[in-house]
Structure 1
Amino acid sequence: MPAATVVLLPGTASDEVFVRTVFAEPLSQVGAVLTAPRVRTLCERLTALDTAWEGHPIVVGGVSLGAHVAALWAVRNPDKCAGLVLALPAWTGAANGAPAALAAKASAQVVTEHGLDAALASTTGWLHDELTRAWRGYGDRLVPHFEEAAESAAPTLDELRSLRVPTGIVGCTDDPVHPIAVARAWAEAVPRAVLTTTTLDAYPHALGRAVQAWQQALG
């Protein structure tokens, strides 16, 4: 039996390097093959999933915005999706002032008014390193991407209830930008979902726990 292909998308202004860092090892441990496409817009994220499908169902997912896009793709393409690996869903349905949407808008404003270095100055540690690389990689598309992400829709609860594939979700119990209540709501809505949790001090590698949750849902 061929190894499962798992296509994972980055979050807002994140990149494929972060996806590989978090998910390559846990996926290899379960015999799955990771595809982490280079995408810089919402449209590119959706196109990457369409392109990855080669006639047999694939497992899709991602982090934050990437999780939203993957779940919406699964809703619209039920015959093409074999499973979902989702980390940190940030809202359900319309953004409506969700913390992650507000953070994206605020980042866009700071970059526009004060420049990229000023926006990065408020970050430290691994997050600073990740954002410095990823945000610079977006170039002139960074601010437009922040803005489109902040206005984008996630799946509604009714849409999530329509999913019939094994789904692993990881949520964070102390991340104010990605409220644990959202992850719990998604897990309660998706019929075959398994939810696992982490905390901020275990970031970023603990987001890979979504893989183990997906494996549990398979069982």
Structure 2
Amino acid sequence: MTSVIRHPPAVLLPGTGSDEVFVRSVFAGPLAALGIPLIAVPPVPGAATAECFLAELDRLADRHGTLLVGGISFGAHLSAEWAVAHPGRCGGLLAALPAWNGEPGQAPASLAAKLSADFVAASGVAAALAQAEAGSPPWLAAELRRSWRRHGDGLADGLRAAATRPAPTPAELRGLSGPAGIGMCADDPIHPADVAREWAGALPRATVGETSLAALGADRESLGRATVLAYLRATTAS
């Protein structure tokens, strides 16, 4: 009789100004191939976005027990923050495109979020969206068009909240014993590859999976595959 492997659900959080639609487009296929259920958490726009995400992770852990947590960019930061606070409830980490360690300082993603927040506050979502779309490849422009409109009046406050929130420090990450997959785009200036490598170097059981922005534009799952494969390698590492 063949035994059935039961995986804990993967609870994944979107990045700043993004949404669960993008998370699914990145991770649903790679996780389904392994039989891992995906719970993609929708954003709650506004200044309390981080607290709402963390509360949802608490709620889902109460319901399901151990969770495989993760996310994209700011979602990766928050999931790792939750894991540091609840190591016994975290069965692993899927962190795609981490943007900084500890205090954001002059991290490119933090500066970009602050600039976008200022523009949204001064000119409105529609004007900020038009400016962002003009400088973005078509696939990213389409993502922003959908997700920024969903955030609406809460977009500026949400961007600022993300831009100023510390990520876990390397010392804090060293306290997580579960397997971790860190996904990066080697050519992404907003989410530097060195940050992904620093996360992987700090986590006791972590490997890095690499893709590119060009690959992500053509195939959203390229980032999910890179992150999930890195996680699988980490589960077998000594």
Q: TM-score range by the shorter chain?
A: over 0.9
- Residue 155 (structure 2) aligns with: 142
Whether contact under 8 Å (2:18, 2:43) holds in the other structure is no
- Residue 162 (structure 1) aligns with: 175
3-state SS, counterpart of residue 169 of structure 1: strand
Is residue 2:232 matched to residue 1:215? Answer: yes
Flag the structure with larger Rg.
2
Counterpart of 2:32 in structure 1: which amino acid?
A: S
C-alpha separation in 2, matches of 1:63 and 1:37: 12
- Give the CA RMSD over aligned residues: 1.1
TM-superposition CA deviations, 1:28-49 (whole Å, max 9, x none):
0011000001122111111121
Counterpart of 1:211 in structure 2: which amino acid?
A: V
Aligned pairs for 1:59-138 (under 5 A) are 59-121=68-130, 122=134, 123-138=136-151
TM-superposition CA deviations, 1:12-62 (whole Å, max 9, x none):
010001001110000000110000011221111111211111252110000
- Residue 25 (structure 2) aligns with: 21
Q: Shift in Å at residue 199 of structure 1? A: 1.1
Q: Which runs of 5+ in 2 are unaligned?
A: none
Counterpart of 1:99 in structure 2: which amino acid?
A: P
- Residue 43 (structure 1) aligns with: 51
Q: Which runs of 5+ in 1 are unaligned?
A: none
Whether contact under 8 Å (1:160, 1:186) holds in the other structure is yes
Whether contact under 8 Å (2:29, 2:221) holds in the other structure is no
Q: Shift in Å at residue 115 of structure 1? A: 2.5
C-alpha separation in 1, matches of 2:68 and 2:180: 9
Q: Shift in Å at residue 205 of structure 1? A: 2.6
- Residue 205 (structure 1) aligns with: 221
TM-score by length of 2: 0.89
Whether contact under 8 Å (1:4, 1:31) holds in the other structure is no
TM-score by length of 1: 0.96
Q: Shift in Å at residue 114 of structure 1? A: 2.4
Aligned residues: 219
TM-superposition CA deviations, 1:95-126 (whole Å, max 9, x none):
00210000001111121222223322223401
Identity of aligned residues (%): 48
C-alpha separation in 2, matches of 1:182 and 1:162: 18
